[in-house]
Structure 1
């Protein structure tokens, strides 16, 4: 798709009951979103594999992916079995979105995975979902999934923001979920790191599917739209980045790090979001009235990415899908 208008995916955090998530998935499929990315954080959101199973059963075409999961809160074999089972239910529609762990690990007092451990897990997950045996750290025995085969293999996409993870995605993943915000220069630098990883591994440049994770809000009241995206901006700003933040924002990020509460992760009522400035918001999200959002999206669509995964924010959680459809219509205006 590079060189044309990117596909448009939809990312939803399971903050609502799963039946509501299924209804949102049906609306997303009706409006031809390419992929539905489901957040995974066991202490604060509904269980992601349960949600994905219900969505797989209730839809026919839309891609289904974790946005993103990890292999710490669930054993690697359990994660592989979950993805293989989903692929069996919804052939060709499933993506394993993985990361080093964020709120899912923080809320149980665990540190994120090390990059080299995640790299090894990517290879083993591919093998397990394909029906091949692997040797785990728990012992010399070969571990396999009895019903898995080439037909249940799933592509692995890695969430990445800092240089090490971007490079790893380029070297080892089928796709990358770019957590680089909305600043075109930062996104270009992130893409360059992915390309560098592809070159290092001897892979064809552009072989890794590039997804831009984009928090977004569109309201007739621009100030309201910017307020709505602040919870996502608060967390994204704390990550490693492909380009250094301006000096005037470093202190703000330091204060956010001190105040951040993972049990209010991405919540519209998060207290720490009150400390996100307009400058930081503009760097890490697209928000404003329809005209402002259209102008920002038009610029992002010029970047060499395959898919933009919209992370919609609205005053009412049940209105997130309405916001997503409104944004999709703006994308369609760009493509026309």
Structure 2
């Protein structure tokens, strides 16, 4: 079955999260995703609050920018979430937006090297291992978590766009996050690159979930809002990107991505979505029943 989620976009004030999270929980939405975008809400703090306010919905953080974070701190925070809310936490890491990383003095010469080192160390720490490593960026001396999550917490996902990063997620991550700039053909190509990375690392067996965001507009003015957002992102020339319309149209767009290889499709409202709570209710109550 295709998992279905929605995004609480960080353009919304943090105090809006409680009502959105509770509606996601009450309506039976599979997943609610949060972003750690500079310079808006923190990913771990908002995830902890959303988990505490809800009982069943899984909370995803997509994603934590690794240049901002010492891997030991990331491991401590993620492990704490998994211990307090077992089975309900999905965490991903990534390069971060390089302009933002530059603004805070955290931009590195080789983002791919940093992400690889961070992933290897983070997965080991969450798996209960004692880690000593002297990498280009990640340096740990006899570090282990006192409270690692059971079973490693279900793994760490990584965000990726380019071919090198996509292969890396296959090599070193437990799943991959694709942006809303990915259409169905992009999902197919990403799957191929991920599998190349998995094969190169000897990780060909077992699941590797792929999560993709789908820019979605519904209700009054939906086509205009979708076009405007795609234009703002410079994506108006990408074919079959995003969807505007009713639940039937959205469900068909979700199915196209699932058929291309996505395991989870997360509906991403436009930045000017007038009713975030209503959007979550729409996803859970109208789209979910139409998606196999």
TM-score by length of 1: 0.75
Unaligned runs of 5+ in 2: none
1:20 and 2:40 aligned = no
**Residues 311-326 of structure 1: pairs in structure 2 closer than 5 A:** 311-313=268-270, 315-316=272-273, 319-326=275-282
User: What is the DSSP-based 3-state SS (H/G/I as helix, E as strand, rest coil) of the residue aligned with 2:181?
Assistant: coil
1:279 and 2:276 aligned = no
Aligned residues: 286
Counterparts in 2 of 1:122 and 1:219: CA distance versus 1, 3 Å:
same
Distance in 1 (alpha carbons) for counterparts of 2:145 and 2:249: 50
TM-score by length of 2: 0.85
- Aligned partner of 1:132 among 129, 134, 154: 129
Distance in 2 (alpha carbons) for counterparts of 1:222 and 1:37: 22
User: Residues 248 and 290 of structure 2 are in contact (CA less than 8 Å); yes or no, is this contact kept in structure 1?
Assistant: no
User: Residues 131 and 140 of structure 2 are in contact (CA less than 8 Å); yes or no, is this contact kept in structure 1?
Assistant: no
What is the Cα deviation at residue 210 of structure 1?
Answer: 1.2
Unaligned runs of 5+ in 1: 235-275
Q: CA RMSD for the aligned pairs?
A: 2.7
Counterparts in 2 of 1:314 and 1:324: CA distance versus 1, 3 Å:
farther
Distance in 1 (alpha carbons) for counterparts of 2:122 and 2:263: 24
Aligned residue number for residue 240 of structure 1:
none
Distance in 1 (alpha carbons) for counterparts of 2:249 and 2:140: 58
Distance in 2 (alpha carbons) for counterparts of 1:182 and 1:195: 17
User: What is the DSSP-based 3-state SS (H/G/I as helix, E as strand, rest coil) of the residue aligned with 1:11?
Assistant: strand
User: Residues 136 and 143 of structure 1 are in contact (CA less than 8 Å); yes or no, is this contact kept in structure 2?
Assistant: no
User: What is the DSSP-based 3-state SS (H/G/I as helix, E as strand, rest coil) of the residue aligned with 1:91?
Assistant: coil
What is the Cα deviation at residue 292 of structure 1?
Answer: 4.7
1:200 and 2:200 aligned = yes
Distance in 2 (alpha carbons) for counterparts of 1:93 and 1:221: 35
Aligned residue number for residue 159 of structure 2:
159
